[in-house]
Chains A and B, each alone.
Chain A
Amino acid sequence: MIPLLHVSDLHVSIRTDAGIASVLDGIDLTLERGRILGVVGESGCGKSTLIRTIMGILPKGARADAGEILFEGENLLAFSEAELNSRVRSSRIGFIPQDPLMSLNPVFKVGTQMLEIMRDHAPPDGLRGAARQRARVQRLVGLLRRMQVPDPETALERYPHQFSGGQRQRLLIAAALACAPGLVIADEPTTALDVTTQHEILLLLRELVGEFGISLLFVTHDFGVVAELCDDLCVIYAGQTVEAGPVHAVLSAPAHPYTVALLACHPDRADSFQGIPGSVPSPLAPPPGCRFTPRCLHTTLPCSAAVPTGRSAVGTAVKCVLYA
């Protein structure tokens, strides 16, 4: 069976005043049905750009230069804006944004906004007019109750500012599920929340995957979150996929020098805190080939040529000449 989402060799560049920024330079990832894929990378490595490319909402001046985004076998890059709206967004791909405080429209009732999502994208239910509206409200109230939003019956009549940050994230999760999509994409949905709330939300998401039959693409910079939530893992460095595989395999036996270095300096594991020497290259003038080369301990090898994908001993996919 084909995977739900398969991104291969995706390249995205953004035209800026300072030149052309090569923001994504060879992203490969695969999300199988019913699983949770964590996409991990440092700030600025292109996680949000990847999500924007999948959703078809690129910033001004940005362009997908190469690659494919196969969703249920169809290449989303070939979809027009109108097609994305009518056949993909909300109906088949739900989105949970990073900042729950800023992502709801402050001057409309929560219910108005959630019903607007259902307006064009809810699966047909054979109802019309007032009956359909009632059914939709009922579905939303049920979702809110499931998300443990307090007073779900009246929540739709309230405004976003009348909810806390954690509650708003629950509203947004309900909104993502409102039209019963098969894929949900979440962009660091817990970064803005405190640790306890973050933990509750992760537990909730974990449960929802089985319960609603969704697959989850979860973007984060936090290996701790990945270990807690995800089945699979895809590590990104400066716009390039460097390593991908089942979470336990990657975490227990990291193969790519970047993954190794990153895990070594994670506060949960490191004996003493140490960063990776050097800094992330600018997307305006990236090194050729593997972008980790300038900071890598193994640079005697021909790293500046196109990097092949190899297999590590535990079977993870590694983009490094050490494993070619």
Chain B
Amino acid sequence: MLRFVLRRCGLAVPSLFGLLVVTFLMIRLVPSDPAAAMAGDAATPEQIALLRHKYGLDQPVWDQFVVYLGRIVRLDLGESAFTHRPVATDIAQRLPATLELIFASMFLSVGLGVPIGVLAALRHNEMPDFVLRVLSVLGVAVATFWFAIMLQLLFSMQLHWLPLRGQLADSVPRPVNITGFLLLDSLLGRRWDAFGDALAHLVLPAVTLAFGGLSGIARFTRAGVLDTLQNDFVFYERAMGFRRSRLIWRYVLRNSVTATVTQIGLLFGGLIAGGVVVEAIFDWPGIGSYTVQAILTGDRQVMLSVTLLVGVIYAVVNILTDLVHGLLDPRLLDRT
């Protein structure tokens, strides 16, 4: 088991290193003079030279790369040209909001997608299967921003059930910062008012983000279950009188979700990407809206840091996905 984990982590090293090289080259090579670009149009030649020296741009490229690696390892990601604060600080502050949103939509899309997929497989070519097909088409066809705006129009503007944007109403004081995760901090601080309000704010963006992934997860689950049901061991388990609910939700499902887990891993990446749009629409104070702001203001340091961050998250999710596969199917563990 430990060997399996270490192996998977080892496999992630080359791709992460590649990512570092690419981001490094993007900083150093894309603008002809990065120091001038950093300093802005109004800078004097002396200021530019100072910056060049400060960031080691007058050193050989190899030395610069080593310095760059050292800074990354110390989580020194530079300073945002827009907020004038260390990028690492900004990210640390905003990442929990994004993760909260992503986990909420994962929870929704997995929690609904898996049962829908199982039902569609059991009621093959009947009503639940039909519903899933409609959902799938919608999940692919409907643009995220349109869906988000429709939800806002209906549930906030029309019905006034849910807040329009943001993470917490201005009238609600933020709970004491313990973990950075708003919902968690409200719980830990027993701030039920903040918890309820944060939850209400979370619903619409999470639903928007979950929508696309939901149909994918349901489709993969459905295909997996249909496939598993063909196996001899399902007939055997029925013949031995396994209780139907346990047969389906435990013995069949465990065999069926391999593809679903891969899909969930991919979905996580998709959620980070999709989160950019959703965070912008719902004014969600996370990494996504930070990125949009950076792109609009040309804040290169932030863009590169976010690229790095997303790469690291992808690598971690990949390792986790493999790990879950290993836990689900013991044959994989014995093979490595």
Which A residues are closer than 8 A to B by beta carbons?
Answer: 55, 57, 84-85, 88-91, 94-95, 97-99, 102-108, 113, 116-117, 119-121, 159, 161-162, 172, 175
In the complex formed, the residue of B with least CB distance to A161 is B331
How far does the Cβ of B82 sit from chain A's closest Cβ, in whole Å?
Answer: 50
A95 in contact with B240 (CB, 8 Å): yes
Asked if B330 CB lies within 8 Å of chain A CBs, one says yes
B240 in contact with A90 (CB, 8 Å): yes
> How many angstroms from the CA of A120 to the CA of B243 in the assembled complex?
8
- 1/0 per residue, CB under 8 A from A, across B226-241: the answer is 0000011101111111
B251 in contact with A108 (CB, 8 Å): yes
B238 in contact with A103 (CB, 8 Å): no
In the complex formed, the residue of A with least CB distance to B237 is A105
Contact status of A104 and B242, CB under 8 A, knowing A159-B330, A159-B331, A161-B334: no
How far does the Cβ of A284 sit from chain B's closest Cβ, in whole Å?
Answer: 23
Asked if B255 CB lies within 8 Å of chain A CBs, one says yes
B241 in contact with A90 (CB, 8 Å): yes
Choice from B235, B243, B251, B255 contacting A57 with Cβ under 8 Å: B235
B233 in contact with A175 (CB, 8 Å): no
B239 in contact with A97 (CB, 8 Å): yes
How far does the Cβ of A243 sit from chain B's closest Cβ, in whole Å?
Answer: 28
> B232 contacts which chain A residues (CB < 8 A)?
97-99, 102-103
How far does the Cβ of B206 sit from chain A's closest Cβ, in whole Å?
Answer: 31
Choice from A89, A106, A113 contacting B241 with Cβ under 8 Å: A89
Asked if B329 CB lies within 8 Å of chain A CBs, one says yes
B242 in contact with A117 (CB, 8 Å): yes
Contact status of A162 and B334, CB under 8 A, knowing A89-B240, A116-B246, A120-B243: yes
17 A-B residue contacts at CB 8 Å?
A: A57-B235, A85-B243, A88-B241, A90-B240, A94-B240, A95-B236, A103-B236, A106-B331, A107-B254, A107-B330, A108-B254, A113-B251, A116-B242, A117-B241, A117-B242, A159-B330, A161-B330
B241 in contact with A91 (CB, 8 Å): yes
> A84 contacts which chain B residues (CB < 8 A)?
241
Choice from B235, B239, B255 contacting A89 with Cβ under 8 Å: B239
> A117 contacts which chain B residues (CB < 8 A)?
240-242
A57 in contact with B330 (CB, 8 Å): no
By CB atoms of chain A within 10 A, which of B236, B243, B244, B328 has the most? Answer: B236
> How many angstroms from the CA of A167 to the CA of B205 in the assembled complex?
54
> A161 contacts which chain B residues (CB < 8 A)?
330-331, 334
How far does the Cβ of A143 sit from chain B's closest Cβ, in whole Å?
Answer: 14
How far does the Cβ of B229 sit from chain A's closest Cβ, in whole Å?
Answer: 11
Which B residues are closer than 8 A to A by beta carbons?
Answer: 231-233, 235-244, 246, 251, 254-255, 328-331, 334
How far does the Cβ of B329 sit from chain A's closest Cβ, in whole Å?
Answer: 5
> How many angstroms from the CA of A106 to the CA of B334 in the assembled complex?
13
Besides the known contacts A97-B236, A105-B251, 7 further A-B residue pairs in the complex with CB atoms under 8 A apart: A85-B241, A90-B241, A95-B236, A119-B243, A120-B241, A161-B334, A162-B334
> A57 contacts which chain B residues (CB < 8 A)?
235, 238-239
A106 in contact with B235 (CB, 8 Å): no
A121 in contact with B241 (CB, 8 Å): yes
In the complex formed, the residue of A with least CB distance to B335 is A161
Choice from A98, A159, A175 contacting B240 with Cβ under 8 Å: A175
By CB atoms of chain A within 10 A, which of B238, B244, B251, B255 has the most? Answer: B238
A97 in contact with B251 (CB, 8 Å): no
> How many angstroms from the CA of A119 to the CA of B245 in the assembled complex?
14
> How many angstroms from the CA of A257 to the CA of B254 in the assembled complex?
51
In the complex formed, the residue of A with least CB distance to B333 is A159
How far does the Cβ of A54 sit from chain B's closest Cβ, in whole Å?
Answer: 10
> B330 contacts which chain A residues (CB < 8 A)?
107, 159, 161
B240 in contact with A102 (CB, 8 Å): no
How far does the Cβ of A137 sit from chain B's closest Cβ, in whole Å?
Answer: 18
> A121 contacts which chain B residues (CB < 8 A)?
240-241
> B241 contacts which chain A residues (CB < 8 A)?
84-85, 88-91, 117, 120-121
8 nearest CB pairs, A to B: A89-B241, A102-B232, A103-B236, A95-B239, A90-B241, A159-B330, A105-B233, A85-B241
How far does the Cβ of A230 sit from chain B's closest Cβ, in whole Å?
Answer: 22
In the complex formed, the residue of B with least CB distance to A57 is B238
> A90 contacts which chain B residues (CB < 8 A)?
240-241
> How many angstroms from the CA of A106 to the CA of B335 in the assembled complex?
14
> How many angstroms from the CA of A161 to the CA of B328 in the assembled complex?
14
In the complex formed, the residue of B with least CB distance to A106 is B331
> How many angstroms from the CA of A29 to the CA of B231 in the assembled complex?
29
By CB atoms of chain A within 10 A, which of B235, B236, B239, B334 has the most? Answer: B239
